[in-house]
């Protein structure tokens, strides 16, 4: 029962690797976007970053817009 609820819950974050796959870019490019500040990330330990799904969606939405 608990597993069914977990499956139905929408995730709020992704790993850098998952974000790279979702965006169709390399892992190195995803880390580069994080380091440039273009893709906000949350450091949860010395070696682990997570990215809010919302920020990934915002990056995609702004990709076609001109400044």
Distance between CA atoms of 45 and 64, rounded to whole angstroms?
A: 33
39: which 2 tokens?
Answer: 């893709």
Tell me how crowded residue 61 is: count the other CB atoms within 10 A of its CB. Answer: 9
pLDDT in tens, 46-58: 999 999 999 998 8
Residue ranges per domain, the chain? 7-54
CATH class of domain segment(s) 7-54? mainly alpha
* The predicted structure's pLDDT at residue 3: 61
pLDDT in tens, 12-66: 999 999 999 999 999 999 999 999 998 999 999 999 999 999 999 888 888 777 6
Q: Which residues pair with 52 in a beta bridge?
A: 13
């Amino acid at each position: 029962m608990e597993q069914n609820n977990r499956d139905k819950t929408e995730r709020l974050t992704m790993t850098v690797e998952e974000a790279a796959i979702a965006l169709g870019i390399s892992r190195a490019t995803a880390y580069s976007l994080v380091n440039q500040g273009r893709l906000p990330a949350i450091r949860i330990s010395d070696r682990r970053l997570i990215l809010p799904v919302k920020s990934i969606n915002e990056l995609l939405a702004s990709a076609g817009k001109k400044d």
